[in-house]
Amino acid sequence: MDPVAAFSLAGTILQFIDSGTRFVGLARGLYRSGSDDTNSHGDLLKLTKSLDAVLPKLKSTASDDDMEKSLNQLALDCGKTTARLLSILQKVKMAENARKRDALKAAFRLICKEDEIKSLQDQLSSFQNQLNLHLLLSLRDYASKSVEQQETVLQQLGVAREQRLSVGGICASILEYLASRKGGLNNQTLETRNLQQNLIKALFENCEFTPAEKLQPPTIQLSQTDRDTAQSLFVASLQYDDMVDRENRIATAHESTFQWVFQDSQSQNHRIQTTKWSNLRDWLESDDQLYWITGKAGSGKSTLMKFLCSPKAEMLRAHDVQDIPNHGNARDQSRCHPYLEKWAGTSGLIVPSFYFWNSGMELQMSRVGLLRTLLCQVVAQRPDILPVISPKEWEIACLFGRIVADWSRFDLQQMLFRAVTTLRSDTKILFFVDGLDEFDGRHEDLISMVQDIIRDNSHVKVCVASRPWNIFQTAFRQKANLRVEDLTFDDIKNFVRSKFHADTEFESLRRRYPSFADKLMDNIVVKASGVFLWVDLVVASLLAGMRLGDRIEDFQRRLDELPPDLEKLYEKILHSLDPFYLEHAAQYFSLVETAEKPLTILQFAFADEESPQSAIKMRLGSTSDEEISLRTEALNRRLNSRCKGFLETDRGLQSIEGNDARHPSQLTIQYLHRTVRDFIKSPKAQSFLRSSTNRRFDPSIQLCVAFLMDMKTWTGRQDHLQLLDREEEDPSTVTNVIHCFKKAAAVAKVNEGVMIELLGELRNLINRPDYRRALDKYLALLPNDGSHVSTFLGIKGFALLSSETLVTLAVIYGVVPYVRAKAEWGGLIRRPWTGYVPSSFVAGYPSRVLPLPVEESEACWPLLLDALSVQVPEPAIVECLLDLGADPNFKIPNLDSQTPWIIALTKVTSLYTLQSRTDDPAEYSRAESKWKQTLRLMFSRGADRAKVPASVLSPISRKILQDLRDEAERTERNRQQQLGPSSWLRSWNLG
């Protein structure tokens, strides 16, 4: 079919479905007793007029094309239904006194039965699904035409590319055109996004790629601008907050260190030559695929890995860098490139890297974070492979300007392996992966992935680094390797001398006592045993002593008293803290451990407030830049005096332009090193810190204070919201709200009243008109694709960050005291319905969702459903809602009259079905236990045990129901036996 005719006919069908949906909504409203009068007679007249206009256009034309025949048949079917609706409306119109509400309701009930309305709703849903599929095929056909032909189609439809108002992609103008055909421009943006959402769903559900086509790129014709936009969108979807934070935090190697690593055997000094290790330069130039860098904790493994991956300083200083064929820009070339080129030959070369970091965000220590980071670097250099490694997501990015993938570990791993396979013919790849021991998962799985990626892929090398744990020794000791502490004696010596020589006071001492100074430095190097981190701490301690006026003999005694073992050194430092500050130091460590992710220095300063009332009394925008600067400077001094370098402030993620200057609120506080975190979490250190901590200190309530005060730093400027946006995936205001509720769920019982007061102040803040206006403008700039927490909240069907949102968040994150205090009886709230349904609510249940009529735009929503929307519900919050009268059998019209009970059974079925995919058996067992408790609670509070749709009753859910019934019967029998006959009679007032 001609594209213009196809889109025009599709627009007509959309008009009909919209009118039919409004008819169903009106009919349901008339059947529902007690509904408010909303000019139903006028609505009927509008519907009649709309359907009269559509009917003549729903005609078929002769065609031999199967796709065209199918669309024509859909138009005929819609025409028949249109005629049927007009017949019903005409009969109702003829009813006497139809203008009166009661008579109109009676006429409707007489002429159109409730079963008929349900049948019509099902038919409309079927029409919508068929239309979505036809539209998707038509859009694919449109996208396969040349750019010039695409422009011609748009011109014939009377639209232009400049009309992209609310969605992206090369099909944006057509979606805007189709949405406009539904009539009225008030909700055109929402209509366009709804249409886009339906088409993406159709692509995933109905257009599966066959095995033979899986790696075939869709034939989409793009202008260079559109191609660049889609590629950038894809790369951005793989990025995440603090993706390069760990790399930036690793100390840059001292200028004289690690020079031996690229020397050939003849150029190395005697110490290096006689050490048993595999020459790294030889490995880079060879076809060997795996290299293992190992060493003690703190020996400099990460610093060496960063040294290998980083470009030489002179490359970065060059201003006239030219692109080198096949090898990318010299600015992106690592120090390894000159040696890798011998291996690569004429092939291209990509050198991605990742640094596991157990003290940072969850993604920094997970396999998902590893895969996203490596993929991001690969596709950034070779975006041409995107249609092959992820065809569906690429097609969505091109057609609709969105990335909707949730990037599961399985999907990401498949993509990476496809990328490796696709690049086999013309590109060599060297992956650097540091800190395998900091991976927060099964190390066997990580080792298997490393081995799998080089198996049968001779164009791939992998260099990994880890501590010499048994599991890594077993996997890698037969491969090329080096142990860092065996090779860095001279590096440490140079480092120590440079540090001391740079200190003017020590230089003065060395001139007076040269032999003592040289011996002191040599003793440090020997005692270090190859541990760079130990050296750094000891040198700092000795230089600090010099500033306190230490004598010569004091230096050596101080060195002798410092233990050579890193953990014992930490213990000595911890016990040497000023007793006056010890309690404060313990509080700081507690805050770091309780926070889910590293706190910014400003948040940490706010968390350091003595009274939670500070957050309530603080005025919005009252914190000037000068005060922020003073707060951060003061906190830095306190960190130095309380924590002795265990905690540090660093800059984290660099800006795109490479500008190092960042707002003070963007600097984060983290542990100096993984070994520091391990030590602080050790039983011995924890026992010492607990003995120094006031039992009344509650880190969770202090973090609630911090997040609320952070929100209040807004100055009233629109750009300040963007400045405070420290998240790549969500605006800081939204994430602060969410983190606040997460911590509220963990506050001590004694602080529950204060917590409710803080959340009340948070509600007052986000309801301020000036704050909401600026926030809404900012959120409007974000894509409505579920990739942001803010839009995820919107997709759930309620206004962003409204009072209702806060109750829902309290339910989702298990803040029982707040829910008990703020939720109304029945556990229902009213919220605006947006037309979207979150997949987490239906969990595989194929619900049919239709837009609601105007009078139902604010629908009752059960908080019990919010409690079930999370992956693993909290039985305590479910019990709280049930105590508040929540009905597990409440029918949700927006979800095709599903109930919380049905959705709970569906999600449990999914849990059992996906058991084999669970990486952590303990996590699965915990989830199973909580779901069983949840079902038991709902069952005991009247969950409908009989009226469960057959589609939900899988073998698993049938067994669950039977187990619950058996358990209820056993409980009742035991109760009756305990009561005995006389007690039973008394219970009926008969004894």
**660 lies in some domain:** no
Taking Cα atoms as reference points, which of 267, 319, 254, 692 lies closest to residue 497? 254
Rounded Cα gap, residues 894 and 797, in angstroms: 10
405 & 355 share domain = yes
474 & 541 share domain = no
**350 lies in some domain:** yes
308 & 446 share domain = yes
116 & 150 share domain = yes
pLDDT tens-digit readout, 584-611 = 999 999 999 999 888 989 999 999 998 9
pLDDT tens-digit readout, 379-420 = 999 999 999 999 888 988 898 888 876 788 899 999 999 999
423 & 527 share domain = no
Taking Cα atoms as reference points, which of 767, 765, 760 lies closest to residue 741? 760
Taking Cα atoms as reference points, which of 692, 701, 726, 689 lies closest to residue 601? 726
**889 lies in some domain:** no
- pLDDT for the residue numbered 382: 95
Rounded Cα gap, residues 680 and 688, in angstroms: 10
Burial class (CB in 10 A: 0-12, 13-18, 19+), 221: middle
For residue 201, the enclosing domain spans: 3-206
134 & 257 share domain = no
Report helix, strand or coil for 107: helix
Half-sphere exposure of residue 11: CA atoms within 13 angstroms, side-chain side = 19
Q: What is the DSSP string of 415-430?
A: HHHHHHHHGGGTEEEE
493 & 456 share domain = no
Tell me which amino acid residue 221 is.
Q
- pLDDT for the residue numbered 803: 57
Q: Averaged in consecutive runs of 10 residues, what is the pLDDT profile of the chain (991 residues)?
A: 81 82 73 52 65 69 68 81 77 56 60 73 83 85 88 82 63 83 65 82 64 52 90 91 84 82 73 80 94 92 93 52 38 83 94 91 91 95 93 89 82 94 95 94 94 94 95 93 91 89 85 87 89 88 80 82 86 87 92 90 92 90 82 88 84 37 69 88 90 86 94 62 39 75 94 94 83 60 41 37 74 93 87 45 34 44 87 92 92 72 81 57 81 89 71 69 80 75 47 38
Q: Whole-prediction pTM value?
A: 0.76
Half-sphere exposure of residue 457: CA atoms within 13 angstroms, side-chain side = 25
DSSP alpha helix (H) spans, 548-578:
552-561, 566-575
Distances in Å between the Cα of 678 and the Cα atoms of 298, 354, 467 are: 12, 21, 14
**Domain final position from 439, 463, 486:** 486
**399 lies in some domain:** yes
38 & 173 share domain = yes
**447 lies in some domain:** yes
Rounded Cα gap, residues 961 and 969, in angstroms: 12
Rounded Cα gap, residues 63 and 344, in angstroms: 56
**383 lies in some domain:** yes
- Angle between helices 752-766 and 803-812 in degrees, nearest 10: 140
Residue 501 structure tokens: 């020589």
- pLDDT for the residue numbered 724: 39
Rounded Cα gap, residues 394 and 220, in angstroms: 10
- pLDDT for the residue numbered 516: 87
**612 lies in some domain:** no
For residues 702 and 710, is the Cβ–Cβ distance under 8 A?
A: no
Rounded Cα gap, residues 776 and 796, in angstroms: 17
E strand or H helix at 208: none
- pLDDT for the residue numbered 659: 34
For residues 240 and 415, is the Cβ–Cβ distance under 8 A?
A: no
493 & 475 share domain = no
Domain count, the chain: 3
For residues 392 and 203, is the Cβ–Cβ distance under 8 A?
A: yes
CATH number for the domain harbouring residue 256: 3.40.50.300
Residue labelled with tokens 């209702």: 804
452 & 556 share domain = no
Any bridge partners for residue 600, and if so which? 668
Residue 56 structure tokens: 């003549």
For residue 886, the tally of other CB atoms under 10 A from its CB is: 24
- pLDDT for the residue numbered 40: 58
112 & 255 share domain = no
Taking Cα atoms as reference points, which of 928, 938, 925, 991 lies closest to residue 964? 938
Rounded Cα gap, residues 901 and 933, in angstroms: 13
Residue labelled with tokens 């949730």: 406
- pLDDT for the residue numbered 982: 52
E strand or H helix at 349: strand 348-350
**Domain final position from 546, 564, 582:** 564
Residue 441 structure tokens: 């998962």
**834 lies in some domain:** no
- pLDDT for the residue numbered 553: 79
Residue 624 structure tokens: 């000037």
479 & 514 share domain = no
**Domain final position from 486, 514, 548:** 486
Taking Cα atoms as reference points, which of 536, 611, 614, 599 lies closest to residue 570? 536
